[in-house]
Amino acid sequence: MDSVLRSTILGKTYDMVDDPSTDSTISWSESGKSFIVWNPKELSRDVIPRFFGFRRDETEYPRNFSLFAKLLNRYGFRRVDSEEIEFADHDFVRGEPDLVRHICKRKIVRKRDTKAGKDRLRKIMVMRKPKRKNMKKHYVLF
């Protein structure tokens, strides 16, 4: 992983999960295709500040586990159905730090929808940028 990627939020998250000293708090799953948060309180108190180093002007960095989970959601990570607190993204894989560069922040696009004379806003979440020209974007509506 190059130094520019290492300084990004996802690069720091990868380093945090990959660091053996944090394995009791956050670590890779057995498959290496997801990671598990074993102790959210310890993660918030000790690990996140160590890896992210907060400054007042950095509003995007997580300050606790709840904000960390929201940040992961913003980048398209999904919760894995398991007994543990487990997150996954197909480009966040143990031993493949360069794949992290393919993960994009989801964008919120507001679109006007008129129904019964009222203007309503619908959010369209753009999940990923296409990696190749012939691939289509994926959308989630809610």
Whether the pLDDT of residue 142 is over 50: the answer is: no
Average pLDDT across the chain, whole number: 77
Residues 6+ apart with CB under 8 A from 32: 93, 94, 95
What confidence category does residue 121 fall into, taking pLDDT thresholds of 50, 70 and 90?
A: very low
For residue range 3-23, what is the model confidence (pLDDT) as tens digits?
A: 656 668 899 999 999 999 999
Whole-angstrom distance, CA of residue 83 vs CA of residue 65? 17
Q: What average pLDDT does the segment 45-52 reach?
A: 87
Delimiting residues of CATH 1.10.10.10 domain(s) in the chain: 3-102
Going by pLDDT thresholds of 50, 70 and 90, the confidence category of residue 122 is: very low
Q: How does DSSP assign 26-90, residue by residue? A: EEE-SSSSEEEES-HHHIIIIIHHHHH---TT-TTS-SSHHHHHHHHHHTT-EE-SSSSEEEE-T
Residue 118 has pLDDT above 50, yes or no: no
- Matching CATH number, 3-102, of 1.10.287.610, 1.10.10.10, 3.40.50.2300, 3.40.1120.10: 1.10.10.10
Mean pLDDT of 113-128: 46
Which tokens go with 66? 């709840």
For 61-70, b/e burial (b = at least 16 CB within 10 A) is bbeebeebbe
Reduced to 3 states (helix: H, G, I; strand: E, B; else coil), residue 109 is strand
